[in-house]
Structure 1
Amino acid sequence: MFFCAAHGAIAQEDNLHHQSSVYEAPTDPEVVAKLDKWQDLKFGMIVHWGVYAVPGMIESWALCSEDWINRDSTVSYHEFKDWYWGLKDEFNPVDFDPDQWADAADAAGMKYLVFTTKHHDGFNMFDTQQTDYKITAGPFKNHPKANVAKHVFEAFRKKGFMIGAYFSKPDWHSQYYWWDKYATADRNNNYDIRKNEWRWNMFKEYTYNQISELMHDYGSVDILWLDGGWVRPLETVNDEVRAWGARIPEWSQDIDMPKIARMAREAQPGILMVDRTVHGPYENYQTPEQSIPKEQLDVPWESCMTLGHAWGYHEHQNYKSVNKVVHTLVEVVAKGGSLLLGVGPSPEGLLPDEDVKRLKGIGDWLEVNGDAIYGTRTVTYYQDDNVYFTQGKQGEKYAIVLIEEGMEIPNTVSWSDEQDVKGKKVTLLDGGKSLRIAKTAGEVVVTIPQKIRNNITQKDAIVFTFQ
């Protein structure tokens, strides 16, 4: 590889979107209903795929001149950009198989999709009419599935998934955002909008038109997942935004979200707007990235995390274990959230075998224990050491006991009687056996006989249900 320094696993802390501290609940009845439905699903897949898959490098960010980016120091920035933009002529995913992706997500027990229609680099994975920097204008253009987003959405709809369109508000390829007249110092637009109002208005029109295409031409869409939270009205920049550490321009990068939202909801009634970190009426749920909130939250939220170390394709992913993902999912759900797990298809268009294998392992656990996850809501006393609690909408309660990788299932499990059990029995979901409990010294103690422990098939976490 020519620009090898940019291809490796670059530390990504500086590009994470943190959780908003302010939440404004929607009032539109159709949005409220869809949000409740989304909160039942709990587990989704986010797919990062674009030209960055060709060299297997960090998605888009190597184009950005910020201190945390590590490019090859022997190559000029101009050369690097030319090389990166040129990847469009190499991106030819001839094995593209969206049904393989949907099958893997379904086997994982996932229930909704978020697909990157365009990342910050501006390369479009749909047949936009606003630019030629798109998958349908390169070597893949004559493939029957060249309009990638359309076929991805269709494949996941066939599985009954809610459909989310990821869209980057910043567009580093657009002359209306990064103008070649000036250097491109960082993630922000690179000219003073106050002095170049026409240019910014062209960018607003460009963005509106692209989102309109997604809203009108790609079937039913449930979520508009907008990334790039630094593109926002200046008046929404508060101390938590300043704490990100990125430069904040003196001008407003306002793209007129009210107008976009009106158009989107006319085309897709009830669609969830997820304008990440821009607290207000267009952030219908919050999205902490690569992290789980320390405490339970009483607002809708979703942790977006990667299955490996990178969002997009990387030849040598540092994968999370099935055990780790199951434990993460349990903690997220007990704290009131959903888990959006990230995968990156290969430059040829397939999910790697190791992704598929691990996703299937997660799904095997959910097939047995999913009642404690899907359709549940929080309880006040939600954690006792390695035991987490959820409840179903009919009042049924679940105790989910996390078992560390390589550890045996204990013969007794206990928790505080702050999470009490009516009666003298609980039921183990894995096998359906009723187990006796004892209540002593402020504790609920469940005994699991050896014979029953031996027959437990899913050992990453065990679940008891009770009233």
Structure 2
Amino acid sequence: MADIVTNEIRTDDTGDGTDTAGAGATGDVRRNLAAIDEVIARGRFKDDWASLQRHRTPQWFEDAKFGIFIHWGVYSVPAFGSEWYSRNMYIQGSKEFDHHVKTYGPQKEFGYKDFIPMFKAERFDPDAWADLFERTGAKYVVPVAEHHDGFQMYRSRLSHWNAAEMGPKRDVLGELTRAFHEHGLVNGASSHRVEHWFFMGHGKEFDSDIHEPMRRGDFYWPAMPEPDHMDQRSTPYPTAEFLEDWLLRSCEIVDEYRPKVLYFDWWILHEAVQPYLKKFAAYYYDRADEWGEEVTICYKQDSFMFGTATPDVERGQLAEAKPYHWQTDTAIALNSWCYTENNQYRPAAEILQDLVDIVSKNGNLLLNVGPKADGTFGDEDLAVLTAIGDWMHVNGEAIYGSKPWKRFGEGPTQIIEGQFSDAVKKNFTSRDVRYTINGDNLYAIAMRAADDGVYRFERLKNGDAEHNADFHGLIRDIHVLGGTGEPLDWTRDDTALEVHAPGVGGDAPVVFRIAIA
């Protein structure tokens, strides 16, 4: 995308996808690594945690609150199991292994690479995607640039196994970036490349198309044995050759597409990755300084030193409000991040309840959707996105640009803190309330409609500082967003603020704008 940025990193185009292991390519790697060091040397961020702690979360990110994540790639062709199909189809005895043999034949005759020509994306319309996400109410969008399978969804000078040269033969990330800009959406990207170190390793355990000899530039390279415990020191350690390749790929995404938010999956936590991770962060932040942009990195499981990037909770939430900004990433489907023919979809009302809970606690929600291989979205995905967009159109003033109140909320339903808890149904009631503030208004958000039309907000009861009441302000009037526009009847005593809003129904959150005198 030369119209967006002049490249800092350059690599000779070898033309065959394999010469990257040759002597000329080794020189290219050395020159490109030196170019990264030059950017860091002249920038204000250095590759150490003390320097990176000077980074600040962008204001646009704190105000945005809601983004869209996109898992789309070669794994969308089999559309079976999950986006981990490329790994699991090589694990003997797995459902993916059996499905693959039955549907496509033995792995030695039809391997994962053979899905690439089937990934045609013949109905992919980036402008239509951007329009859909804008109508959904998202403010930023994070497409997967490269997943664990090693297939890049963008034009690359570092590998020919990419969507611009194979499969769709389109620069997917580039086309989406342009469309996002035209629709006023902030562009992001995610890289899951580091897990490719071991992701295809099971294919070496039997007669498949994954076998030695293998070298840098090969699609399946390096296909190392998968660790029994994927912790910070699991073996075999990623090599310098692999990690230099990871660093160059990550910096290439930055230089070519200028993402304002970059998301990494979990295995960057590994001890061997850490020096390269710090180098990447310094490079990214320094490049953003050169562009005059505010950017952030989203990470999981303490992969970064706290205060140097944005912490993310995968498929989960936090139980209390935090003084720092954070993000949840989750998916519309409970069982998979990509499209499969048997996805288990979450109702839009439940996703909106989670969004409200997260925003009240100083967080963002990054919601994933998985398109089909042809570039279209399933009816279930479209229904959920449309319902979210309709709600955000009415109630967005309580979300966008809002700040947490002194108390995030109240109510009987307890939130399980931590990752991978979004499958646990919360069963919110109308007594479960979350609070945000924006301008002159305090917003009380009931997690669902009350059957009798009566809402009680105990945090807003009468009281004074002497009796430790939470709210001492004067209320001018109260409206329900999306209502008739007429002020609501309300009373306030030493037990609660009680608001009457008959005729409001449904499972989605109900937002009350409380104007403070």
**Equivalent residues of 1:424, 1:438 under 8 A apart:** no
Give the match's secondary structure for 2:311.
Answer: coil
Matches within 5 A, 1:90-239: 90-141=118-169, 146-168=170-192, 169-171=194-196, 172=199, 175=215, 183-184=225-226, 192-193=236-237, 200-218=239-257, 220-227=258-265, 229-234=266-271
Question: Which runs of 5 or more structure 1 residues have no equivalent in the other structure?
Answer: 1-22, 194-198, 235-251
Deviation at 1:179, TM superposition (A): 5.7
**Could you say which residue in structure 2 is the equivalent of 1:48?**
71
Q: Give per-residue Cα distances to partners, 1:96-129, cap 9 Å, x unaligned.
A: 1112221111111111111100011111101112
Greater displacement, 146-155 / 394-403: 394-403
Name the % identity: 23
The yes-or-no answer on 1:437 pairing with 2:480 is no
| One of 397, 402, 415 as aligned partner of 2:442 | 397
Match of 2:239, SS state, is helix
For residue 370 of structure 1, what is the aligned residue in structure 2? Answer: 396
Does the C-alpha gap of structure 1 residues 433 and 130 become closer, same or farther in structure 2, counting only changes over 3 Å?
same
What's the offset of the Cα at 1:69? 6.3
**Structure 2 match to 1:279:** 304
Asked if structure 2 preserves the Cα contact closer than 8 Å seen for 1:25 and 1:281, the reply is no
Following superposition of structure 1 onto structure 2, how do residues 273-352 of structure 1 map, counting pairs within 5 Å? 273-277=297-301, 278-280=303-305, 284-309=309-334, 310-352=336-378
For 1:225, the aligned partner's letter is Y
Q: Distance in 2 between matches of 1:435 and 1:68?
A: 61
Q: Which has the higher contact order (CA 8 A, sep 6+)?
A: 1
Moved more, 329-338 or 421-430: 421-430
Larger Rg: 2
Does structure 2 conserve the Cα–Cα contact (< 8 Å) formed by 1:62 and 1:70?
no
Does the aligned pair in 1 maintain the 2:448–2:506 contact within 8 Å? no
**Structure 2 CA distance for aligned equivalents of residues 328 and 81 of structure 1:** 45
Cα distance in structure 1, aligned partners of 2:118 and 2:70 = 20
Q: What residue in structure 2 maps to residue 387 of structure 1?
A: 433
**Stretches of structure 2 lacking an aligned partner (at least 5 in a row):** 1-48, 201-213, 412-431, 462-468
Structure-1 separation of matches of 2:235 and 2:53: 37
- Which amino acid is the alignment partner of residue 382 of structure 1? F
Match of residue 237 from structure 1: none
Aligned amino acid, residue 248 of structure 2: N
Equivalent position of 1:259 in the other structure:
279
2:407 partner SS: coil
Paired AA for residue 267 in structure 2: W
Relative to 1, partners in 2 of residues 1:183 and 1:192: Cα closer, same or farther, differing over 3 Å? closer
Is the 2:398–2:511 contact (alpha carbons within 8 Å) kept by the matching residues of 1? Answer: yes
CA distance in 1, matches of 2:234, 2:299: 22
- Superposition TM-score, scaled by structure 2 size: 0.71
The separation in 2 between residues aligned to 1:390 and 1:332, in whole angstroms, is 11
For 1:373 and 1:273, the matched residues in 2 are separated by: 22
Is contact 2:227–2:236 with CA below 8 Å preserved after alignment? no
Offset at residue 312 of structure 1 (A) = 0.5
> 1:327–1:192: structure 2 CA closer, same or farther, 3 Å change rule?
closer
Tell me if 1:463 matches 2:511. yes
The 3 A distance-change label for structure 1 pair 67 and 46 is farther
Q: 1:184 to 1:447 in 2, by over 3 A?
A: closer
Distance 1:164 1:398 in 2: 30
- How far did 1:445 drift? 1.0
The one of 391, 394, 410 aligned to 2:453? 410
**Paired residues of 2:227 and 2:235 also in contact (CA < 8 A):** no
The alpha carbon displacement at 1:262 in A equals 2.6
Structure 1 pair 138–279 and aligned structure 2 pair: CA distance change class (3 A)? closer
1:47 is displaced (CA, Å) by: 0.2
- Offset, 1:55: 1.0
**2: CA distance between counterparts of 1:115 and 1:81?**
31
Instruction: State whether residues 412 and 445 of structure 1, in contact with CA within 8 Å, keep that contact through their aligned partners in structure 2.
Output: yes
Check the 8 A contact 1:25/1:284 in 2, yes or no. Answer: no
Q: Distance in 2 between matches of 1:357 and 1:203?
A: 42
SS in 2 for 1:206: helix
2:384 match: secondary structure: helix
Q: Deviations over 1:158-179 (max 9, x none)?
A: 1211211101133246956976
Could you say which residue in structure 2 is the equivalent of 1:357?
A: 383
Paired position in structure 1 for 2:417: none
Worse overlay, 298-307 or 54-63: 54-63
Mark the CA change 1:69 to 1:118 in structure 2 (over 3 Å): closer, same or farther: farther
1:367-416 C-alpha deviation (Å, 9 max, x unpaired) = 11111111111122221211111112x35210011216xx6462444433
Q: CA deviation at 1:93?
A: 0.8
Deviates more, 1:427-436 or 1:69-78: 69-78
Letter in 1 for 2:360: A
Q: 2-side partners of 1:314 and 1:225: how far apart?
A: 23
RMSD value over aligned CA atoms? 3.3
Deviation at 1:437, TM superposition (A): 2.2
